[in-house]
Amino acid sequence: MGLDIPGATGSRPDAVPLDESGAEDLLRGICFKTGPPRTVGVELEWLIHDRERPDLPIGRERLDSAVEAVRALPLSAALTFEPGGQLELSSQPAGSLMECVDTTAADLAAVRASLGAAGLAPVGLGVDPWQPPHRRLREPRYEAMEAALDRAGPAGRAMMCTSASVQVCLDAGEEEPGPLGYGRRWQLAHLLGAVLVAAFANSPFQQGRRTGWRSTRQSLWADLDPGRTLAPGSGCAPREAWAAHVLDTTVLCIRCEEGPWDVPEGLTFREWIRTGSPRPPVRADLDYHLTTLFPPIRPRGHLELRMIDAQSGADGWLVPLAVATALFDDPEAAETVYRAVKPLAETAGSPAAPRNPLWTTAAREGLADPELRAAATVCFGAALPALERMGASGAVRDTVAAFTDRYVARGRCPADDLPEPGDLAGQSLLTDRSLLTGPIRLTGPVPPAGPDVPTGPVDRPARGPERGPERGPERLVAGPPTIPPTPPRPGKAASA
């Protein structure tokens, strides 16, 4: 028996029962690892659908065969599968935005080709518009998670089995105050996060019906166990607030070596430490407990931005990745955006995200809300020059610019352009590429502009053809440009 197994005995530090002060010290030490922002990563979740009939469920044997083929690919990213069969690619930490984009694009090209050989396609929507929740994975973790989340209603199963997101991972920031300081970035994330919810809302349907939310996915998160999905309180410094939040959140489950895992009700991690029952918790239990907390911004040494719906289109995923990286890591953009979103704190009020009026409006209204539209206009306007300063390629900047003109400048979000689920039933994703390459033209009315909100395209500096030692001149094409996939390179293949 390994000593790192919960309940094991021995001299290793991770097998020694935790005390309360030791747990607090650990949490303060690992939640925000500070330094100049240098690395970026992205976690992409995808719904998997039949290319010919995306409204029909995929048989288990067919999906299992496709999964095995994808697992065999030499990917740079870690590959996992979610309880409902969603595919997730988690990039390695990259030294620059472009490194992250290039390696992720290569991995996606390989995954798309493998799934395509089976007649399947990865679809970027925040919530499956057709299928009810159906859990395919029968591991103890998901058995326990389902039992725990069922206590709060059906949102837990829907989140586990039918949702997908783009999660951007950025360094926590510098220890010192300022636009790149971790305290400022933590505060910025909880206000800018609502703007990102609104701008990238892409899940207006569930089980064939319109839900009334632009981001049904975000509404599901808000309906889960509130302690598990809330941001920490704002009364303390970030490290202290997060440590207290972790210890005062209920334990989802207690792992064991045989049989189903225990799912206690109302037992916080702090109480578990104090009582030592049903067994004393060890470091591995605390590490696991951290993976069962789902706030919109999760500090894991770095900051994990978890509020963005999965994006339609071959390159839709890179827009939130590029925009978030630019707004957090470019000092000039970070300062501009902080000033723009700071007034949103009054709308948010005292409740923690995502259960406050600001985040609720973002999920329900998207950029039809004038206040969020005005903030998004400033944010995306700041992102474009920041991306140029950061050395983003012309293709990345053009893709962000196309999204800005199509959605942000018009007070719209991707959810506003999705066809009704019934309109896609019986159509082929091979011929109707709206979910693979993004909508070709706008549909529906454009919301009226609010006060001080421009109605035309966001201003951005003119840019000529880009040339470099490894890149020829780039052409501007109509519509959102596609980043040419580079051949997959050998890397680490990971499995769930």
- Residue 449: predicted pLDDT: 44
Structural contact between residues 453 and 377, judged by C-beta atoms closer than 8 angstroms: yes
- Residue 425: predicted pLDDT: 59
Q: What is the pLDDT of residues 118-128, one digit of tens each?
A: 999 999 999 99
Q: What is the pLDDT of residues 64-111, one digit of tens each?
A: 999 999 999 999 999 999 999 999 999 999 999 999 999 999 999 999
- Residue 421: predicted pLDDT: 81
Calculate ∠ Cα 431-436-438, nearest 5°: 105
Give the mean model confidence (pLDDT) for residues 270-285.
Answer: 96
Q: Is 452 left (phi over 0), alpha (psi -120 to 50) or beta?
A: left
Token pair recorded at residue 414: 């991707």
Residue showing tokens 């030499």: 74
- Residue 427: predicted pLDDT: 52
The whole-model pTM stands at: 0.86
Give the mean model confidence (pLDDT) for residues 124-152.
Answer: 94
- Alpha-carbon Rg for the chain, nearest whole angstrom, is 22
Q: What is the pLDDT of residues 348-384, one digit of tens each?
A: 999 999 999 999 999 999 999 999 999 999 999 999 9
* pLDDT band at residue 225 under the 50/70/90 scheme: confident
For the chain, give the percent of residues with pLDDT over 70: 82
Quote the CA–CA distance of 78 and 43 in Å, as a whole number.
9
* pLDDT band at residue 132 under the 50/70/90 scheme: very high
Above 60 in pLDDT, residue 58? yes
- Residue 87: predicted pLDDT: 97
